[in-house]
Amino acid sequence: MILVSACLLGLSCRYDGGHNLCPALVAPAAAGLCLPVCPEQLGGLPTPRPPGEIVGGSGNDVLAGRASILAADGADLTPAFLNGVRQTLALVRATPVAAAILKARSPSCGVGAIYDGSFTRTLRNGHGVAAAALAELGIELYTEEDITEEILKHIM
């Protein structure tokens, strides 16, 4: 089973109520090989919701209590994001997951690069908070931008 950001499967769960359908994932999802997850919704955040960014570090720093996830208006979204991580990890523990394909640059799902907390679309190195927790479990992480036929064959 491959954990996949639900927005990449066409589910309208993005912060703005949209989705990020990744056509390469349609067939694997139709074959039942994908476990769709939106950590932000699992954490109790509504859709639509204010966009959030990690301020003061990366997802690893949020997990360690050294950084926060804030909305543009300053509202602290950290508790909901951490709850989403707990819910996501519970699903992973209940379902054998070989890898994860996550939404690039998301404060939850970003892999390798996330927005820096300035709400200016400036990137910094690091994972989103759910991606960081999945990496700690040793799960291979990819974004929709990494997906090729070779990678899909490798992880499926």
* Mean pLDDT per 10-residue section of the chain, whose length is 156 residues: 97 97 95 97 97 98 98 96 98 94 98 97 98 97 93 84
What pLDDT sits at residue 155? 87
Q: How far apart are alpha carbons 78 and 143 in whole angstroms?
A: 22
Q: Which of 138, 114, 126, 142 is nearest to 25 (CA)?
A: 142
Q: How far apart are alpha carbons 56 and 32 in whole angstroms?
A: 38
What pLDDT sits at residue 151? 87
Q: How far apart are alpha carbons 65 and 116 in whole angstroms?
A: 17
What pLDDT sits at residue 34? 96
pTM: 0.96
Pairing of strands 52-55, 68-71: antiparallel
Residue 155 in tokens: 């992880």
Structural domain range at position 64: 2-155
Domain count, the chain: 1
Residue 144 in tokens: 């929709």
Q: How many CB atoms lie within 10 A of CB 155?
A: 16
Q: How far apart are alpha carbons 41 and 46 in whole angstroms?
A: 6
